[in-house]
Amino acid sequence: MLVLTRKRNESIIINDNIEITVVDVQGEQVRIGINAPKSVSVYRKEIYLEIQAENKKAAEVKSIDLKDILK
Amino acid sequence: MLLNTRHFGEIEIDESKIINFKEGIPGFEDLKKFVVLYDGDETSPFRWLQCVDDGQLAFAVVNPFMIVNDYNIEIPEEIVSSLNIESIEDVMVLSIVVVPDDVSKMTMNLKAPVIINTKNNTGMQVVLDTDMYSVRHYIVEELRRREVNTGAGTNKEEK
């Protein structure tokens, strides 16, 4: 992993079109601003991993009759 | 086209109904083509999101508005533009369902609904930027609480 040191209000540019700015640093918390094209999806990693894991669980659904499921 | 599926055997897929998920679905990023199927009962809130690229993959999904009356989401502007949504009437919203062995514990993902533009058949699973909704929302509990008539063959007297 490439590691860069940045101060508040300093940025990094990725691929000419994504800008990541350190907006604020308070103790353990870092506020990050992201400027990216609309086609680029930005997620908090732990939420994305949770959605992935949930989808994998959902894919294991057995052959059930959904019509009968709420009876 | 004919598709050999895990849940329904060999079925005929109407190619004009194929929905393109250009980013796939998180966890299955390489699979792009899906169709929405129903179990012969259009009034049921349940559907299947059947993958066309891989017949072995299908998600049970549910119309969240038929389960949670006050489910209220805002489709982010970048999704509206990415799916080219012109009218809210073209939008289909589905929640992916996890059905564990104990069916009464099944959950729906309200935090990351599947948004489909039925006009151009494009779709995406969208992670909402809100803490209001959970990835695992219990369905049966919700139905009992709200006594929603699901139209899924549920007979209230039998409960």
In this prediction, residues B142-156 reach a mean pLDDT of 59
- By Cβ distance, the residue of B41, B81, B111 closest to A67 is B41
d(CA B19, CA B33): 6
d(CA B36, CA A47): 26
Average pLDDT per consecutive 10 residues, chain A (71 residues; last block may be shorter): 96 96 96 90 90 96 66 50
CB-CB contact of B114 with B91 (8 Å)? no
Nearest Cα to Cα of residue B152 among B41, B14, B2, B18: B41
CB-CB contact of A51 with B95 (8 Å)? no
User: What does the pLDDT look like over B32-90, one tens digit per residue?
Assistant: 999 999 877 778 889 999 999 999 999 999 999 999 989 999 999 889 999 999 999 99
Domain range list for chain A = 11-58
B157 pLDDT band, cuts 50/70/90, is very low
Closest chain A residue to B5, measured at CA: A63
Q: What is the predicted ipTM?
A: 0.86
B158 pLDDT band, cuts 50/70/90, is very low
| All domains in chain B, ordered by first residue | 2-151 (2.30.290.10)
Does residue B153 surpass a pLDDT of 60?
no
Q: In this predicted structure, what is the pLDDT of residue A42?
A: 85
Q: In this predicted structure, what is the pLDDT of residue B44?
A: 84
Select from A48, A61, A67, A68 the residue whose CB has the most chain B CBs within 10 Å, as the one to mutate to test that interface: A61
User: What does the pLDDT look like over B95-139, one tens digit per residue?
Assistant: 999 999 888 899 999 999 999 999 999 999 999 988 899 999 999
- By Cβ distance, the residue of B60, B77, B112 closest to A66 is B60
CB-CB contact of B20 with B26 (8 Å)? no
CB-CB contact of B52 with B32 (8 Å)? no
Q: In this predicted structure, what is the pLDDT of residue B156?
A: 43
B114 contact residues in A (CB cutoff 8 A): none
Q: Do B153 and A67 touch (CB under 8 A)?
A: yes
Q: Do A65 and B39 touch (CB under 8 A)?
A: yes
Q: In this predicted structure, what is the pLDDT of residue A64?
A: 67
